[in-house]
Amino acid sequence: MKLIYRRCGPLSQKTKNDIAWETLFDRHHILHHINRDGYYKISARDIRMEREPRLMCKFDHRIHLAKPFKDYKLSILPISRSEYIIGSFEIFQTVKYNNELTPTRVSIPDFIDTIKKDDLYSESSALHAAHVSGMFQRLLGLQNDVPLLQTVSGRMGSKNFHFDVNLVKGGSFPINVESAQIEIDGGYESKEDFVIVEAKKEMVKDFNIRQLFYPYRVWSNRTTKRIQPVFFTHSNDIFSFFIYTFDNADTLGSIRLVEQKDFVISDEKISIEEIVAITRNTQIVQESREIPFPQADTFERVVDLLGLLYEKNLTANDVAENYDFNIRQSYYHADVGVYLGLVEKVKKERITYFRLTQRGRTFMSMSFKQKYLALVTSIMEHAPFKVAFLEWLQNNRRLSTERCIQIIKEQNGNVNPDTSTIKRRAQSVKKWSEWIYRLTQL
């Protein structure tokens, strides 16, 4: 079917990349070329006319795709240091977390002073902690005293290789790569294995397969050792490793999940009795009419955003371009932080930034157990969540959406009666109860 160009939606929902790519699609008649040839090659120099390519082409997750790419089911791949190719390529792998897994408890050696288990708020610090605590040895089934050393990280050249990429409507398309730039977050080598790691500091819904496939192809030609591609996330203090293989080294879409393994660096456990005691003893605060009722049903992502803000202040655009959030989700999750008294919005030169309040910074600097009990306390200060959680427990962890809606109406008088909105808010009430209970299952 022929693709017809149309401009993006309201300016308020656009990222900087949306605006820049819309201009490039218009200027270079990109859809016309794709309709005619099936692809379009664009130079880094042409992209740089609007914005730096490293920012314009950083589509780590499907949600990052600029609006024209989403509208026409397109994606982009680097084919050299100075050129990219655009087409209807399938380049994302869905990530599904197995919440039934019980994380393996590990520890950082006592002699390590430079890695603090309660201060792992960057990808590099989380990776270093995973390495020194022996997580990678356990991934490979090795003993802790078997040598496994970090040997590779950062940017490097790919040299030349070719592969096939699957198309959205079926079939495949050949891609030739000539000395593109690749980046590896961590490469770990034992006597028999080489582990390639792509790391993210938050829970994700998917990732760009290229981030594992390009390094996999490069190092397949440089070592005879078994290569283990691993996607890694550090979210809510849980280290989740997704071990993959490529069934066909010449096909990007041949990626297959082998196993998920979870770890936690803590010997502290949270009991349901402690949660119930906090819930019953926490004083209710007055609901503010100025702060919207939460519409974010995955509380893990709220905690992830708090961790990102512990490192630095961010705008909604910063969050949308660098993490697995879009603009709307960035505001929703930041608003949850505001609702709980953990985040505030500040303006500087007409730009709104999210930053942690002193309370939020104090919470995020606590030990594992104290941090999560403090977060539970901040939730239980709000009557709808307190009432719903206690009733959820009494009903054997079951509560209908209709009952959650009723609780919200009874306990919070300033909610929007709009059906779709209040259902989303009821979902938040129910899902937050589940998150709190999962803390006791680690």
Over the stretch 112-135, which tens digit does the pLDDT of each residue have? 999 999 899 999 999 999 999 999
pLDDT reading at 152 higher than 80: yes
Number of domains in the chain: 3
Residues 207 and 296 in one domain: no
In the listed set 249, 265, 281, which residue is the last one of a domain according to the structure?
Answer: 265
Token pair, residue 340, equals 């709980």
Query: C-alpha angle 26/55/162, rounded to 5°?
Result: 85
pTM of the model: 0.90
In the listed set 227, 247, 265, which residue is the last one of a domain according to the structure?
Answer: 265
Q: Band of the pLDDT at 413, cuts 50, 70, 90? A: low
Average pLDDT of the chain is 92
Residue 320 domain-assigned (yes or no): yes
Token pair, residue 141, equals 């089934």
Residue 183 domain-assigned (yes or no): yes
Q: Residue 40 belongs to what domain range?
A: 11-88
Residue 93 domain-assigned (yes or no): no
**How many residues are given for the chain?**
442
Residues 322 and 339 in one domain: yes
CATH code assigned at 299: 1.10.10.10
On whether the CB atoms of residues 175 and 79 are closer than 8 A, the answer is yes
Q: How far apart, in whole angstroms, are the C-alpha atoms of residue 226 and residue 386?
A: 51
Residues 324 and 290 in one domain: yes
In the listed set 232, 265, 298, which residue is the last one of a domain according to the structure?
Answer: 265
Residues 40 and 71 in one domain: yes
| Residue 17 parent element (H or E) | helix 16-28
Residues 345 and 235 in one domain: no
Token pair, residue 209, equals 């397969």
Tell me the pLDDT tens digit for each residue of 68-110.
999 999 999 999 999 999 999 999 999 999 988 999 999 999 9
Q: How far apart, in whole angstroms, are the C-alpha atoms of residue 207 and residue 113?
A: 33
pLDDT of residue 1: 43
pLDDT of residue 146: 80
